[in-house]
Structures are given as C-alpha cells and as structure tokens.
Amino acid sequence: MGLILRAMRLFFLSILGLAGGVFLAIQAGFNSQLGSTLKQPILAVIASSISSVVFGCLLFFLISKESIHNITTTQVPWHLWFIGGFFSVIGIAIYFYNIPKIGISKMIALGLCGQLIFSLIAGKYGWLNLPVEPITTKRLAGTIAMIAGIILFNIK
C-alpha cells in the first residue's frame, strides 16, 4: 500500500509541477503584453510584483495554518528577504523583453533550458544550500535531449 501512495503522491506532484509551468507561461504572455503596451518591460515587472504581493497575501491568509506572529523574521538571514526578488526582477524582465521579439514558445523553451542546465550544475555542487544531486547518465542524457529539442524547436 505504501508504494501505491508514494506513486500517487509523485503523480500528483508531477501534475502540480506541470500546472505551475502552465501558469508561468500564461503570466509571461500576459505580462509581456503589458510590457509591450507600456513600452517598458520593467514597469510590467513592477505591476506583476505588486499584484503578486496582493495575491500572495490573500493566498497566505486563506491557506496558512500559522498566524503572522508565529513567524520569526530574525531567524532568516537578511539577504534571503531580497536576493530572490533581485533575480526574479531580472529574469522576468528578460522574459517580458524577449517574448514580443522571439515569441513565447521560444522564450519559454530557452528559459527552461537555462533552468535545467543551472539546476544540473547547482545540484551537483549543492549551490544555494540545496541538496546535492549527482549528475547521472540519465540526467545528462535528459539535458542533452532537451537541448537538442530546443534547437529543433527553434529551427525554422
């Protein structure tokens, strides 16, 4: 029975991961339209970030089991409050800038490739205080297959 539950959990998490990718692609499409309309991708990043805060707070209050006073901010290193936002602004601005120029499918494919390559290297060395994941033959073959797919995807 335990094996079936683990398989079902993995299946659910996989579907959730795919849904997350769909939502990121949808937001990239809408927000790149906003950036193009405004002629300023950075303004689209700001608008997206503000709306993310609003919806994030709503989600927190709807599903969080802890109250705000139980969260201890002093236990978190100061840089963790800001560094993710720094990289997020740069990454999102690149998406919003590139999508109108090269198309959403190419940008998402290239972005996924960049994420995959970085995660392969970061996992190997445990960067960002993440668990170490060795580069196996399967992972390397999968990465090469994805890069080949992206090259085929982008050839006209």
pTM for the whole thing?
A: 0.75
pLDDT, tens digit, for every residue of 77-132? 888 888 888 898 899 989 989 999 988 888 888 888 889 889 899 999 999 988 99
Whole-number Cα distances in Å, 39 to 24, 35, 71, 155: 21, 6, 40, 28
Mean pLDDT of the chain: 87
Angle at Cα 13 formed by Cα 2 and Cα 52, nearest 5°?
A: 145
End-to-end alpha-carbon separation of the chain, Å? 49
pLDDT, tens digit, for every residue of 26-47? 888 888 889 889 988 889 889 9
pLDDT of residue 146: 86
Distance CA 11, CA 65 (A): 25
